[in-house]
Structure 1
Amino acid sequence: MSDRRARMIEDRYLRDSAKALVEADLEHLKTGLSQRGLTERAFDKVREGAVDIYEEAVEVAEDNKGALAALIAAVVVWFARNPILSLLGLGEEPDDAAAERDEAEER
């Protein structure tokens, strides 16, 4: 047998093996999709990603407790700024008082 013929037979076996692998992969994919739909698979991936992000956030929070406490305190102060400023006498005047003052200035 010539080298060319032996090479052709070897290439044909490789081609047939590759084709069999592709067909087996397609069959496996079809079986998997029939058992669990594409939507369910996508939902599972999203859920796994969310769990990973949550675990990372918990780890970062545990490593940076002081920064987290400062951030929470800043948010609380921001939402409570108007009552705090009014207690210190630095807050805005109520709308009624401002309206009366404007009327008095116009006269």
Structure 2
Amino acid sequence: MNPHLRQMEEDRALRDAARGLVKNDIAHLKGDVEEKGIVARIASSAMMGVGDIVGEGIELAERHKPASYGLGAVFAVVLGSWALGGGGSDESDDEDYAWDEKD
């Protein structure tokens, strides 16, 4: 048998096997999505991600307690200054946008 013809038949068999696997995966996904909706799937994935982040944050804070207290204090100060109005300047920032106005 011609080596090119044999290679073509082997490639075709591999292609057909891969196509069958992809079709099975698609059918499985369709059934899985019908069983559990997309929104519920996204919500559960998000909750798992949040749980992982919180767990890692707690573990990191327990390993580095003095640093976590300092970071918590800095975060509280930044959040507090932002919540209370920021810079404390009553001046208007209109001059920052002077380039936008036409004389």
Q: Give the TM-score, by structure 1 length.
A: 0.57
User: For each residue in 1:24-53, what CA deviation from the matched residue of structure 2 results, as whole angstroms up to 9, or x when unmatched?
Assistant: 111111111111111111111110111112
Gaps of 5+ in 2: 81-103
Give the gaps of 5 or more residues in structure 1: 80-107
Alignment match, 1:46: 46
Measured after TM superposition, the shift of residue 55 of structure 1 is 1.0
Q: Which runs of at least 4 in structure 1 moved beyond 2 Å after TM superposition? A: 63-72
May I ask how many residue pairs the two structures share in their alignment?
Answer: 75
2:14 counterpart SS class: helix
Q: Where do 1:69-88 residues align within 5 Å?
A: 69=69, 71=72
- TM-score, structure 2 as length reference: 0.59
User: In the alignment, which residue of structure 2 is the partner of 1:18?
Assistant: 18
Change (3 A) 1:3 1:36: same
Q: Distance in 2 between matches of 1:69 and 1:10?
A: 64
Evaluate the alpha carbon distance shift between residue 68 and residue 10 of structure 1 in structure 2; reply closer, same or farther with a 3 A threshold.
Answer: closer
Compare the two structures and name the one with the higher helix fraction.
Answer: 1
**Deviation for aligned residue 1:56:** 1.7
Percent identity among equivalent residues?
35
Q: Residues of 2 paired with 1:38 and 1:47: CA distance?
A: 14
Q: Counterpart of 1:60?
A: 60
**Pairwise CA RMSD:** 2.4
Give the structure 1 partner of residue 90 of structure 2: none
Whole-angstrom CA distance in 2 between matches of 1:26 and 1:33? 10
